[in-house]
Amino acid sequence: MNTLHGILAELGIDTPDMHPEREFHPETHWVVDEDFHPIAGKIYEVAFGRIAFAGESKHVIKRLRIDGPRPQDWFDLDTRHALAPGLQPYPVKAFRLLA
């Protein structure tokens, strides 16, 4: 069975911690073992994993402000626009709460 950090490394999001006894802080650590049910008004960093986007296959990570439950309601803080329609069908593979 993969560890949390092994999955994150596979997704290209993070390298595994070298010290497993480090404390878990949900506000700074990625969550990969739960469905993404965002809370409106919160800001998350989300990873879609390796997907075909913008003409190439790459790992996609976005900082999003959640304005509603559907991906159409999410605001991309990196581009300062609504989440790109090309990303909306993809499931969130990992996430972390930023604010």
**Which residues are 53's β-sheet partners?**
56
User: CB of 71 within 8 A of CB of 83?
Assistant: yes
Residue 80 CA to chain centroid, in angstroms? 17
Pair 57, 85: CB distance under 8 Å: no
What single DSSP character describes residue 71? G
Flag whether pLDDT at 9 surpasses 90: no
Summarised one tens digit per residue, pLDDT across range 28-52 is 688 987 899 999 999 999 999 999 8
* Six-digit token string for 90: 């993809």
User: Which residue type, as a one-letter code, is found at position 20?
Assistant: P
Predicted model pTM: 0.72
Could you state, in order of their start, the residue ranges of all structural domains in the chain?
A: 36-99
